[in-house]
Amino acid sequence: MAQLSPGKTNASHHAVLAGFLGWTLDAFDFFVVVFLFDTLARQFGVTKREIVWTTTATLAMRPLGALLFGLLADRYGRRIPLMANVIYFSIIELACGFAPNFTVFLVLRALFGIGMGGEWGSALRWRWNQLRPGCAEF
């Protein structure tokens, strides 16, 4: 394994911490919705099956987020797209709490999936570049 200077090691640890915290918050939000299926179904006046569909939409959009934010990271560097992604999914997550109806909630959960995919992919690539500077490919 390549030896890193103390400054690189510190930045590398920050990259891992940022990715881990982002992933943890993503997972927390994702599973809060899972635990609230019945409550959300009552709140929006839809069946539980329709609420479960929001989980499918979230997971289905993750590859799109990874692709989109991966392309942005390749073009603008790793750090800025990762920060933009965290802001993006934070805003979308907050908006989910204020969704006035099921359709808006479904769209917001799909958009949240884009943020989930982008956050994990960006953090992983940032960490990889910290470990192997100048290496763009696995």
> Tell me: the pLDDT tens digits for 88-118?
988 998 999 999 999 999 999 999 999 888 8
* Cα distances (angstroms) measured from residue 49 to each of 45, 95, 112, 118: 12, 22, 19, 27
Q: What's the pLDDT at 138?
A: 46
Number of domains in the chain: 1
Question: Can you give the pLDDT at residue 43?
Answer: 95
Structure confidence by residue, pLDDT tens digits, 31-54 = 899 999 999 999 999 999 999 999
Of all residues in the chain, the percent with pLDDT exceeding 90 is 43
Task: Considering only residues 51 and 127, tell me which one the structure prediction assigns the higher pLDDT.
Answer: 51
With 0.85 as the threshold, say if the pTM is over it: no
The pLDDT value recorded for residue 110 is 96
Does residue 94 sit within a domain? yes
Q: In this predicted structure, what is the pLDDT of residue 97?
A: 92
Report yes or no on 32 lying in a domain: yes
Of 106, 110, 121, the residue nearest 68 (C-alpha): 121
Distance CA 138, CA 133 (A): 12
Is 5 inside a domain boundary? no
In a domain, 82, yes or no: yes
Q: Is residue 17 part of a domain?
A: no
Domain that holds residue 114: 22-131
Q: In this structure, is residue 16 part of a structural domain?
A: no
What digits encode the pLDDT tens for the residues 70-83? Answer: 888 888 877 788 88
Q: Quick check: is 136 in a domain?
A: no
